[in-house]
Amino acid sequence: MTAFGDWLLSTRKKLGLSQEELAQRANVSKNYISILERGRPHPGTGAAPQPSRKTVEEIAVAMNWPIEEPLRLAGYSASPELSDLSPDEERLIAFYADMADADKQAVITIAEALWRKTKEAELVIGRRRPTENEILEE
């Protein structure tokens, strides 16, 4: 299960809502609620179900629940200044949120290495001047 799926199942049951009732209130299908609650990866793609930010918000509103917790559990920022993310950026954040800690650390290590290589390449081809720190590091 995903963190959002766990939250969805337990909160829906606490509120005494059936999947069908919640689906009607949130304007999604009962089947989709079931898929989100189970959180199992799709057999064809291996990807866990990932609701859109709008769907998470609609589900929270349908249950009269503050949106911050379900957004966070689904991998989205509740911060209004970060709500301008593209769908791809939101999916990437949600994917990262569901990773094991060791996998998150591997992603960070790879991203840092790529960032360093990009900065080194910019210096080599002369796109920018080295900073004072970069000169001192050499």
The answer on 111 and 128 residing in a single domain is yes
Residue 113, pLDDT above cutoff 80: yes
Contact 41, 47 (CB under 8 A): yes
The answer on 106 and 91 residing in a single domain is no
The answer on 130 and 86 residing in a single domain is no
Residues comprising the chain, all counted: 138
The answer on 85 and 26 residing in a single domain is yes
Residue 134, pLDDT above cutoff 80: no
Query: What range defines the domain where residue 88 resides?
Result: 3-97
Domain count, the chain: 2
At 50, the amino acid letter reads Q
The answer on 81 and 126 residing in a single domain is no
This prediction has a pTM of 0.56
The answer on 114 and 91 residing in a single domain is no
Q: Across the chain, where does the E strand assignment appear?
A: none
**Residue 21's domain is classified under what CATH number?**
1.10.260.40
The answer on 24 and 83 residing in a single domain is yes
Q: What confidence score (pLDDT) does residue 101 get?
A: 84
pLDDT tens across 69-101, in order? 998 888 887 665 556 666 677 777 777 777 788
Distance of CA 127 to the CA centre of its chain: 34
